[in-house]
Amino acid sequence: MSKMYKEMTKEELLNEQNELTKRYDEFKARGLKLDMSRGKPGKDQLDLSAGLNDVKDYVADGLDVRNYGILDGIPSCKKLFADLMGVDAKNVIIGPNASLTLMFDYISQCYTHGAGSTPWCKLDEVKFLCPVPGYDRHFTICEHFGIKMINVPMKADGPDMDVIEELIKDESVKGMFCVPKYSNPQGITFSDEVVERIAAMKPAAKDFRLIWDNAYCIHDLDDNGDELLNIFDILPKYDNEDMVIEVCSTSKITFPGAGVSALIASDNNIAAIKKRLNAQTISYDKMNQHRHVEFFKNADGVLEHMKKHAAILKPKFDIVLKHLENELGGKGIANWFNPKGGYFISLDVMPGCAKRTGELCKEAGVTLTTVGATYPYGVDPDDSNIRIAPSFPPVDELDIAAELLCICVRLACVEKFLG
């Protein structure tokens, strides 16, 4: 069963194709409609936070949270995030329901006002480094502002630092988006060495900004989660505090559409952001901040809550990984990581076979993340990466979808070998 495809004879390949097509057609005949495209929590996960809607009082830290005021978040909510992220509350700004907005708005601010520098809109060219595969919404922000994206390969312990250290000698390279823990889509956590090298970077651009999107900071799949160094503990050693903007949110802790986000930054950056916020808003939704504090009580409350998510998610990851191992293991046609947390499994199939796999899945009723979306401009140069999002479908549907996906991968690869 696990003969390498490249060692198969034409006849063996045709046999394989024959068998796979039979299985594929059986699935297809079932008229499936399954979705593994979005990193969306399932309904059972959302129900874990039903208690949020029980919070009715409106006094927090002696303030009426219903009224105007408090630009950077209510003190109790700032403390909650500060404790979770291991930083001072003064370095936290509580944001709207999506950390994506905090990132977009910060890049927009750099574009219109610079980062203690010439506004980026006044420059001929601005470039960002993009570890790939990566998160499509980071790429969309760059594209929106006409920022030229440069691919940087991901290694097993984070982005290739040799490449990065070379590229940042170019003064027009102004920044980089990272998901340092359980990266999207690979689930890779940056090693201590990588975090240290990142914190020590000396980019030619004095206004280089690293967007540290810690979306999955506490999103372990079990008690055996990865540890990520707190970059803000290391930055002072290199006099680099102003280089990093960290964001996180409760999107995958409470409600994706009605959570609370937070931004963590140096004193200088916090001051610059508050100056903009003072023109942009009267305050973010303090009632929702208060709801979250009342519901969780403290950082330990959040961590306890995350164990309930893990209990729901772990079996979903396991079933996908089981199929990958069973169907694709030892055939030399696919690689993947076994992530210890996050929301995705990243599957690298034989070059030139990802799009075809996506097509085959679609025809049989399984929606995958658009192939290519994990690369800037939607172009995967190897046509190899497939992002699997196991969180939303129920386990029984995943069981079907994952098996079918594997069949499609194999079919696509056989086709490729048969030319």
**Footprint of its own copies (CB under 8 A):** 38, 40-41, 43, 46, 49-50, 53-56, 58, 64-70, 96-98, 100-101, 104-105, 108, 111-112, 119, 121-122, 137, 140-141, 143-145, 251, 255-258, 276, 278-288
Nearer to its own copies, 186 or 391 (CB): 391
Q: Closest approach of Cβ 234 to its own copies, in Å?
A: 31
Q: Closest approach of Cβ 142 to its own copies, in Å?
A: 9
Nearer to its own copies, 28 or 40 (CB): 40
The CA distances from residue 221 to 182, 185, 315, 354, in Å, are 10, 15, 9, 27
Task: For residues 29 and 365, give the distance between their C-alpha atoms in angstroms, rounded to a whole number.
Answer: 10
Q: Closest approach of Cβ 397 to its own copies, in Å?
A: 17
Q: Closest approach of Cβ 208 to its own copies, in Å?
A: 20
DSSP, residue by residue, 205-218: STT-EEEEE-TTTT
The CA distances from residue 3 to 205, 330, 351, 416, in Å, are 51, 7, 19, 16
The amino acid occupying position 38 is R
Nearer to its own copies, 9 or 68 (CB): 68
Q: Closest approach of Cβ 274 to its own copies, in Å?
A: 13
Task: For residues 261 and 402, give the distance between their C-alpha atoms in angstroms, rounded to a whole number.
Answer: 32
Q: Are strands 34-36 and 366-368 parallel, antiparallel or unpaired?
A: parallel
Task: For residues 1 and 3, give the distance between their C-alpha atoms in angstroms, rounded to a whole number.
Answer: 6
CA-CA-CA-CA torsion for 390, 388, 299, 211, nearest 10 degrees?
A: -160
Nearer to its own copies, 55 or 150 (CB): 55
Q: Closest approach of Cβ 291 to its own copies, in Å?
A: 9
Q: Would you state the structure tokens that stand for residue 326, as one six-digit string?
A: 């069973």
Q: Closest approach of Cβ 273 to its own copies, in Å?
A: 13
Nearer to its own copies, 97 or 189 (CB): 97
Nearer to its own copies, 79 or 286 (CB): 286
273 half-sphere exposure, CB direction, 13 A CA radius: 26
Nearer to its own copies, 255 or 375 (CB): 255
Instruction: Look at residues 244, 263, 130 and name the one whose alpha carbon lies nearest to residue 198.
Output: 244
